[in-house]
Amino acid sequence: MRILVTGGTGYIGSHTVLTLLEAGHDVVVVDNLSNSSEEALRRVGELAGREAAFVRADITDEAALDAAFAEHAPEAVIHFAGLKAVGESVTIPLDYYFNNVAGTIALLRTMERHAVRTIVFSSSATVYGEHNPTPYVEKMEIGAMNPYGRTKEQIEDILTDLGASDPAWRIALLRYFNPVGAHPSGRIGEDPQGIPNNLVPFIAQVAVGRREKLMVFGGDYDTPDGTCLRDYIHVMDLAEGHAAALHYLQGHDGVHRWNLGSGHGTSVLQMHAAFEKAVGSPIPYEIAPRRAGDLPAFWADPSAALADLGWSTTRTVEAMCEDHWRWQKNNPMGYALSLEAGEEPQARPSMSPHPAPYRIDVTAGDPPSLEQALNRAVEAAIAQALMEGTRGVLVTRRSPCTYTVELSRIVPFGTTLERDESVQGR
């Protein structure tokens, strides 16, 4: 099948694209790269042994979508693209409604023009709001409590109305919970821009030295250890859930809703302990006051997905942490940067009694992404220099699009020296 995936270079999208390619589907990805990297798609191609087509476009741009549909003739769509940070949605709600809701309308209008009426929509457990008892089941009334959740709820309403208006539509609404982990190869994973909004990527960045410590918000909830309980799902289980939903739609029209979750809660401290075990060393944390709006506990009832799709989670919390750590330690600054082969991240000196030289190679295909990657590398190196008492940071230009950033005990701290080796033919 030819499948168009919006947001396919993002965290969940890239893992789903890999799952689809490995299942033999032809995939075209549409993404504007505003919160992701094309490098993810390149690595997906390496892992799958074949590539997905890529169209850099915004889903609000109907002309660009028309061109993509005309060129690639997809038979179905999996829709991930959209803004996704709950806190940010409160401060810039118009951006969320425009990108998420108006963007989805533009996508659906394009699908209608090209007679494509099969779509799997990446919804969210946030549509359940704050007042439903756990576990959450699909028949509950929904009522999101923040702009991000309301965009998901509104899109669900639009798709429900669309399905009622035309029986040719085949629609899956997937309400998933807390995706974590990474592909077991460590080649693709979650690469949040800025401070992570979710627990596990934050723990991982503390473990690799990018953050000082984990703040645990609330230690006095009515839960076994006093911290919040959440339903965590391995991103590969989630990707397989999207593929299963798409397969189901081949034989069923109408609108269908499924929770994708594990069916049980894991506390913040339990997840922290599991990640410490994966890392093999302590990860500092501090109990802080509760945050307004945090629920003590919620998790999914995934029995409908099991009954209809034959789908359930198969990967444990331990596997989630092991896979997420493998990704993070091999890619300490995400897709933009990587360590030399065989090196371990040394941003937290206690991780190894014999630290390897701190070095990051920076490669990017065009000047804007190169500048961004280089700035991130230098910021990380300066932070490391402060921790180790090193004098400065050395940046070596090895080719027009390749740099090496490393610590120097010769360059005075407070300066960044760029050495150009490309003129020497290296």
Apex CA 287: angle with CA 285 and CA 288, to 5°? Answer: 120
Q: How far apart are CA 379 and CA 238, in angstroms?
A: 33
DSSP 267-322: EHHHHHHHHHHHHTS---EEEEPPPTT--SB--B--HHHHHHH-------HHHHHH
Residues 174, 257: Cα–Cα separation, whole Å: 6
Q: Find where tokens 């099991």 sit.
A: 306
How many other CB atoms are there within 10 angstroms of residue 82's CB atom? 22
Residue listed under structure tokens 């810039």: 92
Q: Is 148 a catalytic residue?
A: yes
| Residue where the block lists tokens 């760029």 | 418
Q: Is 180 helix (H, G, I), strand (E, B) or coil?
A: strand
Catalogue the E-assigned strands of 124-270: 170-176, 178-180, 214-217, 229-230, 232-234, 254-260, 266-267
**What is the signed CA dihedral for 260, 261, 263, 265, rounded to 10 degrees?**
-150
Annotated catalytic residue, options 11, 96, 97, 148: 148
206 contact partners, CB below 8 Å, separation of at least 6: 212, 213, 214, 283, 284, 285
Name the token pair of 405.
């950033």
Q: What angle do CA 98, 56, 99 make, to 5 degrees?
A: 5
Q: Tell me 6's DSSP state.
A: E
d(CA 186, CA 184): 5
Helix (H, G, I), strand (E, B) or coil at 90: helix
Q: Which residues are catalytic?
A: 148
